[in-house]
Amino acid sequence: MKKLILLVTLLLFSLNYSQVNRFVYEVKFVRDTIAKNAFTNVLFLDVNKDDVKFYNQELYEEDSVQKATKNYGSGITLGNSLMLKRTVNSFENENYVFVDTDYYSYKSTDKLKWEILPENKTQKGYTLQKATSEFGGRKWTAWFCKDIPINQGPYKFQGLPGLIFQIEDNQKHYIFNLTEVIKLDSAYDTTRILETNFGKKAIPISLEKYNELLSNAYYNPYPEIRTKLSKGENYTFSAYGKEIKTTKDLDEVRKSIKENKRKNYNPIEVDKAIKYK
C-alpha cells in the first residue's frame, strides 16, 4: 500500500511552495551494535518555502489526538531523537534532544560534501542516482531523484540536485527509506511537539553541554530524587521495573541504567559520541 501511495502521489507531484510537501521516511536503526537488533521509527520531513522540519510521527499522532479531544496531557520522551529544524538552503540546524525526561535544543552547522556517481536504478517508476558522502563519522550512500527538484532528505542529509529517496551508512546501522509523499495546504503547527515537548520548552544548550548532561545522567541518574531520599523525604517512584524508596534502591537501579546506556548507545553521529566507561 505504501509503495502504491508513493507512486501515485509522486506522479501528481509539482513544485508548489504555497503548499507544504511532507515526505514520510521509515528509519531502521540499530541501538545495540553487538546484537544488531533493528528498531523502526517513522519521521516526517515537512518542507515549505521558508523552513524544513524533521520530527516523529508518534508525536504528531499524539498531538493530533490531544488537539481533537482538547485533552492536553503530558509529553512523550524519545530515547533516540533525530528531530531538528532549519531554514531552507541553510546548513544551520536546530537539534532537539532528550536527556531522561528533560528536553533540550542545540545548534550545529552540518554541511555535507557529496560525490555524485553515474550509477542509476529505477524504483517505483522513478530513476534514482547514486551519491556518497562522509558525515558524522560514518560513510553514507544515498539515492536521489532529479525529477523531484527539492534538494532535501531525511535528518541533516541535503544538498543533492533532487529529493533523497534512500540513504544508509555502510554498516547499515541507520537506513532511511521514503515511503509516502503528502501535500498539505498549510504547515502543521509543531509548537507542542518540536519547539516544545507538549508544553515543556526546549532548553537551549551547546553540544558540549548536551554531552555533559548525558554523562551526568549516566554516572549520577536522578540526582534530585537522590537528594530527597537522602533527606529522608517520603518519596516513591518506579524506574526500570523497580519501585524506588531508598538510596539503596536507587543504587541498584543505577547499575541497570549504566548497563542499558552502554548497550544501546549508538548515535547517528558517532564522531560526537561520548565515551561511557
Q: What is the pTM of this model?
A: 0.88
The pLDDT value given to residue 15: 52
What average pLDDT does range 171-195 have in this prediction?
Answer: 96
- Exposure string over 228-241, b if 16+ CB within 10 A, otherwise e: ebeeeeeeeeebee
Q: Are strands 102-109 and 203-204 parallel, antiparallel or unpaired?
A: parallel
The pLDDT value given to residue 41: 96
**Cβ contact 244:238 at 8 Å:** yes
Task: With a cut of 50, say whether residue 8 has pLDDT above it.
Answer: no
Task: With a cut of 50, say whether residue 93 has pLDDT above it.
Answer: yes
**Cβ contact 152:45 at 8 Å:** yes
Give the pLDDT confidence of 98-121 residue by residue, as tens digits. 998 889 999 999 999 999 999 999
Of 77 and 84, which is predicted with more confidence?
A: 84
**Cβ contact 244:112 at 8 Å:** no
Window from 27-31, 90-94, 245-249 with minimum mean pLDDT: 245-249
The pLDDT value given to residue 12: 45
Selecting from 3.80.10, 2.50.20, 1.10.10, 2.60.120, what CATH number does the domain 2-200 have?
Answer: 2.50.20
Count Cβ atoms below 10 Å from residue 10 Cβ, excluding itself: 19
Mean residue pLDDT across the chain: 89
Considering the chain, what percentage of its residues have pLDDT values greater than 70? 94
The pLDDT value given to residue 100: 82
The pLDDT value given to residue 5: 47
Alpha helix segments (H runs only) across 101-246:
207-219, 223-230
Which of 134, 275, 142, 135 is closest to 215 using CA atoms?
A: 275
Of 219 and 210, which is predicted with more confidence?
A: 210
Task: With a cut of 60, say whether residue 213 has pLDDT above it.
Answer: yes
Residue ranges per structural domain of the chain: 2-200, 206-272
- Sequence-distant (6+) residues with CB within 8 A of 241 are none
The pLDDT value given to residue 76: 83
Task: With a cut of 90, say whether residue 21 has pLDDT above it.
Answer: yes
Q: Are strands 163-169 and 174-184 parallel, antiparallel or unpaired?
A: antiparallel
What average pLDDT does range 222-240 have in this prediction?
Answer: 80
Distance CA 69, CA 180 (A): 27
The pLDDT value given to residue 262: 87
